[in-house]
Amino acid sequence: MTANKGLVATAGTELDRLAELYGGALTYEAAVAGGIPIIRTINEELATDRIRRVSGILNGTSNYILTAIDQEGLSFDAALKEAQAKGFAEANPIKDVIGIDAAYKLIILTNLIFHRTLSLAQLAPTGIDHLSPRLFAAAKEWGLKIKLLASTWESRGQLNYQVAPVALNPSHPLYQVDGVTNAVVIDSDLVGTSTYLGPGAGGKATANSVLADLASLSRGEQLTGSSACLRIENGRPLTKQRYLVVNPTGLPTGLQFSDRHATSALTPALTPTDLQRLRATNPGLETLALGE
């Protein structure tokens, strides 16, 4: 058993094969979402259901920083220092703030649910370290909250995936998830939408997940782990999405905005090519995906 999400994300399939070869089992409940028993829930409670989408706030450090910026008006650096002082961020928090930690956890969940192996390069995570005060101000003006969201979903036979900061509206199930709390939202055919919340980190939460794995193994329960994984062949990231756009010199032309303020607006659904073109023709434009 392990709580090392990087190890499971990059070598889980091989480790699972070796464990099966020698009559063992690879368990890793503590590697994803700390104290939330999400691996067990997927393996047991939702074993007969078909999951279509999984989304989550999977990194407590980033969520604490974003909450401090939103609620206390701190700068990114000040929020990070506060997180470190309270033990919510490591001395070197780079993997947390650039999205790698959340990406590792999403790779594990994607592997487990969709039996597809994503690499870090395929996910190309975007973190929170580049977000400007203007974006936070615009999000607050629109009543939105910025969260680092990790998502994988099936649509028209295509696997979509994204790890990036998004602006959530108040109706989103993860809008109120603040501080170091982690949360996972699962959409499935039978259960519908179910949300799981809990501490994303901490010695006690991690220890509880490790002990739960030990208890299951001691009872002789077979945990399915990450076996039967296939390498993804035709997966693509998100195709169309709406965005919050901010431009201090004026809003871009050529788009029909149903909602707009003086220097910010909500766009219609754009493809990655549309977004790239919009950025290229509007220097200084800042964009943030809407999580709807």
- Phi, psi (rounded to 5 degrees) for 53: -155, 145
> Catalytic one among 5, 105, 145, 147?
105
Q: Are strands 192-199 and 181-188 parallel, antiparallel or unpaired?
A: antiparallel
Looking up tokens 């809990």 gives 198
Exposure string of 261-287, with b = 16+ CB inside 10 Å and e = fewer, is eebbbbbeebeeebbeebeeebeebbb
Task: Find, among 210, 212, 194, the residue nearest to 202 by Cα.
Answer: 210
Q: What angle do CA 227, 38, 90 make, to 5 degrees?
A: 100
Active site (annotated) includes residue 140 = no
Looking up tokens 């039996």 gives 115
Query: Would you say how long the chain is, in residues?
Result: 292
Measured CA to CA, the distance from residue 11 to residue 200 in angstroms comes to: 22
Tokens of 196: 């799981």
Burial (CB count <10 Å: 0-12, 13-18, 19+), residue 51: buried
Positions annotated as catalytic residues are 105
